[in-house]
A and B are shown apart, each in its own frame.
Chain A
Amino acid sequence: MNILRAPLVGRFLRWHYARPAMQCALLIVAAAVVWHGLFGPQLAPRNLATVLTSIHWRGFLILAIIAVGNLFCTACPMVLARDIGRRVFHPALRWPRRLRGKWLGVALLVAVLFSYELFDLWAQPRATALLVLGYFGLALVIDTVFAGASFCKHVCPIGQFNFVASTMSPAELHIVDRDTCRSCRTSDCIKGNEKQRGCELGLFLPMKVGNLDCTLCLDCVHACPHDNIVLSTRPPGAELLERGRRSGIGRLSQRADLAVLAVVFTFAALVSAFAMTSPAYAVEQRLAATMGTRSEWPVLAIIFLVSLFVVPALLLTGAGAISRSFAESRSTLRATVITYAYALIPIGLGIWVAHYGFHLITGGLTIVPVVQSAVVDASGHALLGGPFWGWVGLQAGAVFPIQLGCVLLGAVGSLAMVQAISQRDQPSGPAALASAPWLAVVLLIATTALWILSQPMEMRAVSVLG
């Protein structure tokens, strides 16, 4: 099904100003977040900055990814700001070769998640507003100095998260007729033309596979003079089984940085959910006592280092080594680990959906009283009525079955992915044996996630070790 030909939605998406319209809407929301974060009440549950970012933005971002695709990047207001900036400052440099790839993005994603826990950003409206301003500033500086979508492709931590998650999306931009592309002499989809820029992320549509590095900006759709690009439905995750070279990415099996991003994405889902539970604080206090410190950052650094790098490295290299010996494989341990690392994405996404979905379902209605209150703050009058502070959402207990379903669905997806990779790589060999250690890794992650979700919640924002 081509979504671009669907009634209403398709017509809107094909409209040349669809993306700027969505970006303007989110820019207004971002402006409200910054204004209320800086000048509104510094009480997280009563401030637009913390409520919108922690509850609604994260929730809708992940729901959009599993329902359609990378819609946040489509509507990203930071790209609108940099487009305006580029009317004044024209970038002349290319992004440095040494910084290409996902390593910087992985480091920044970890840094953002670490800062979120260390500084309790969910409880800090002013810090949240400053973080949003920082994001805008960074995007503006980078993209007015470096050409193309350097910020999106190499830097933006949100973008890297979205790229990985959108490999599980049910829709993808791709060409319709290969012969039309073969006969095309202008390659407008990547080069652009006088009316429309081409893909700034370097994805040449005839060779594009999947959603990795695709911001769903629809520039290629508008640029193609042959109307040969569709946004069509597809089996989620199928792109992770493609072995061929893909435009702008290369071969997945040769991209250690992308594999590490997939692993960090998956294990960060566990860490992020664990950080909200009572046992997390017990672990922090025990670690702090062992280390003889009352400072939180070294304790958190150890937790992040162990759970995002040490444990995954041990688990995956162990599984890779066993898998190779079972399958009598001739591929290297590194290649085996990279190949199977992508199979963790479905379970990782399942855990993120369970976590962010929980906040959206249990706290989604808080936007109503917080907006009412923000209107009072802005105008001095209750133009939308007095805040309905009782509006919150479903009770936490009612959401647990949904969370359970998300994790189980993710686990089934990862198990199927492991099996498919084994059958692809061992067509005549012992595929079941080769996949066994990876199935065990997926089950271990799923069991850990279910244990975390069943723990009593605890939210700290003062001093954990004080």
Chain B
Amino acid sequence: MRVAPRAQHRVLTAALVLVCSLSCLAGCRRPDPADAIRVSWTLDPSPPVVGAPIAAHLTLRGADQKPIPGARLRLEGLMSHPGMAPVIAAVIERGNGGYDAALRFTMAGDWILLLTGELPGGVQFKKQIEIAGVRPAS
């Protein structure tokens, strides 16, 4: 391999600048207040079955472990594979930081529940819940 030395120097410098810039970008993330929110959840029935109605019970707690009532939430079920139809569910508050949603999975496999919304005080909120192994309908 023959190399033109000046051109090589230029390319290596450009590559170094690019790598440094990307590293800085990756490291410059401000802490998000919503990161402190903890979501616990259960599905009924568990494991869930394709086509059957599923009740999702969610509980939101702050960093101090106190329940968070009054959040406006939206629950969306996404397949792990891109390009599959999402499942959208309305979330209803049942009090004391607890919320319920009714779902119906359309395909067997691994799903991701994307919980988004707004907490009291206007803080935007987004959490991912992984649901492994939704069973095929027998």
Contact = CB atoms under 8 A, between A and B. Distances in A.
Interface of A: 38-39, 43-47, 50-51, 54-55, 87-93, 120, 122-123, 144-145, 276, 278, 359, 362-364, 366, 389-390, 392-393, 395, 456-463, 466
Contacts of B81: 44-45, 54, 122-123, 276, 459, 461
18 contacts: A43-B128, A45-B78, A50-B82, A88-B8, A123-B81, A362-B84, A366-B82, A390-B86, A392-B86, A393-B83, A395-B85, A456-B137, A457-B107, A459-B80, A460-B133, A461-B110, A462-B80, A463-B132
A442 B115 CA distance: 48
Contacts of A389: 76, 86
Nearest to B11: A88
Nearest to A145: B1
B92 interface: no
A55 B108 contact: no
Contacts of A457: 107-109
A186 to B, nearest CB: 26
A456 B108 contact: yes
Given A43-B128, A92-B1, A460 B83 contact: no
B103 to A, nearest CB: 16
B78 A43 contact: yes
A39 B85 contact: no
Interface string B94-138: 000000000000011110101000000000000010101100110
Contacts of A395: 85
B82 A39 contact: no
A91 B84 contact: no
B136 A51 contact: no
Contact of B84 (A88, A278, A459): A459
A120 B136 CA distance: 20
Main secondary structure of the interface of A (DSSP, over half): mixed
A407 B81 CA distance: 23
Interface size class of B (residues with CB under 8 A): 20 to 34
A43 B114 contact: yes
Nearest to B26: A39
Given A278-B136, A363-B84, A459 B1 contact: no
Nearest to B81: A459
Given A395-B85, A456-B136, A44 B1 contact: no
A148 to B, nearest CB: 14
Contacts of B114: 43
Which 10 A-B residue pairings sit nearest by Cβ, starting from the closest? A363-B83, A461-B80, A458-B108, A459-B109, A462-B132, A459-B81, A55-B83, A90-B2, A458-B109, A123-B80
Nearest to A47: B82
A363 B81 CA distance: 10
A45 B79 contact: yes
Given A92-B2, A456-B137, A458-B136, A45 B108 contact: no
Given A123-B81, A392-B86, 11 more contacts: A43-B112, A45-B78, A88-B8, A90-B2, A123-B110, A276-B81, A364-B83, A457-B108, A460-B133, A461-B81, A461-B109
A390 B82 CA distance: 13
A122 B83 CA distance: 10
B3 A89 contact: yes
Given A55-B83, A89-B2, A459 B137 contact: no
A460 B137 contact: no
Nearest to A395: B85
